[in-house]
Amino acid sequence: MALVEKRTLDEGGIRLSEATAGDFLALLKPRVMSLVVFTAFVGLMAAPVSINPFIAVVAILAIAIGAGASGALNMWYDADIDAVMTRTAKRPVPSGRVLPREALAFGLVLSLLSVMTLGVLVNWVSAALLAFTIFFYAVIYTIWLKRWTPQNIVIGGAAGAFPPVVGWAAATGSVSLESIILFLIIFLWTPPHFWALALFKSGDYERAGIPMMPNVAGAASTRRQIFAYTLLTAPVGVLPWLLGFTSLAYGVVAIALGLGFIWYAWKVLVMPDSDRTMKPAKALFGYSLLYLFVIFAAYLTDSVVEHVLAMPGV
């Protein structure tokens, strides 16, 4: 039983929430969070210094919560457009299970908690980078760019590219060329990934009034830009090997993955305008996820092997 003042109830100022813990968990965008955790972990493991395993787990947890918090802030601000898109209509805020102000408070509290935890228990360089990442995603991307320019996901992609830099900074307390290359791989990968999705979901974005590239510049221009960004992503993926940060094994995997990425992007480039099923775009979207996962998994494997071989007596 809950004790409340009659006057408040009569004014309709109280709404007894039916939001479960699962609804609040959904605000954290767990699927995006899993990618953040993975790439941040690779950044942390690739660093040339060892970090206490418990502190490493705390760092990854704080980065994950920070990423989740920015997701909650995104869902608070974007509830109106989420409601009109099939992909997002069932999210907790547009479906009415969580009130916008609850999502806002949840996002702000977790942002503060994750940044402070990372700063106090790990280091303040990584905490500052995490704070900037949350700010970039929630304010620069969600509030400013997303509804204003078709370059929204190009610039906003930086938010998704920061986690390995934060992970690296958690271990080393600094930013280096190696972590910047990990950033670049995700940054350049983002446009082909999202524009492939935007091609076969363009109706959704148009209804919501979001200026995604296919709605603004047209499908043909989007397909050309997808191909151009893919041509940039593939060689940047090979850079860690060319610069001597990884072994030949990583280089071979990165080259093969890059060629596959270019092949799928080519199929999208030559896709006829009359193609309503957009199978090449769907295939590219699927492959792009595989590309990012495998290239970071290869980087992680390479780093772990290097650490093991560097151990005395091995």
Residues binding another protein (CB under 8 A)? 1-7, 9, 16-22, 24-25, 52, 54-55, 58, 61, 113, 117, 121
CB of 126 to another protein, least distance (A): 14
In whole angstroms, what is the distance from residue 186 CA to residue 39 CA?
9
**Quick one: which of 84, 77, 74 has its CA closest to 26?**
74
CB of 58 to another protein, least distance (A): 6
CB of 194 to another protein, least distance (A): 31
CB of 16 to another protein, least distance (A): 5
User: Helix or strand or coil: residue 62?
Assistant: helix
Between 12 and 313, CB nearer to another protein:
12
Q: How many CB atoms lie within 10 A of CB 248?
A: 9
Joined tokens for residue 279: 């199978």
CB 213 within 8 A of CB 221: yes
Between 24 and 285, CB nearer to another protein:
24
CB of 270 to another protein, least distance (A): 50
Between 7 and 31, CB nearer to another protein:
7
Output the CA torsion 160→165→166→168 (10° steps): 150
The amino acid at residue 134 is: I
CB 76 within 8 A of CB 100: yes
Between 98 and 262, CB nearer to another protein:
98
CB of 20 to another protein, least distance (A): 5
In whole angstroms, what is the distance from residue 299 CA to residue 250 CA?
6
Between 11 and 18, CB nearer to another protein:
18
Q: How many CB atoms lie within 10 A of CB 57?
A: 13
Between 6 and 276, CB nearer to another protein:
6
In whole angstroms, what is the distance from residue 93 CA to residue 78 CA?
9
Measured N-to-C along each axis, helices 53-77 and 100-121 cross at an angle, to the nearest 10 degrees, of 160
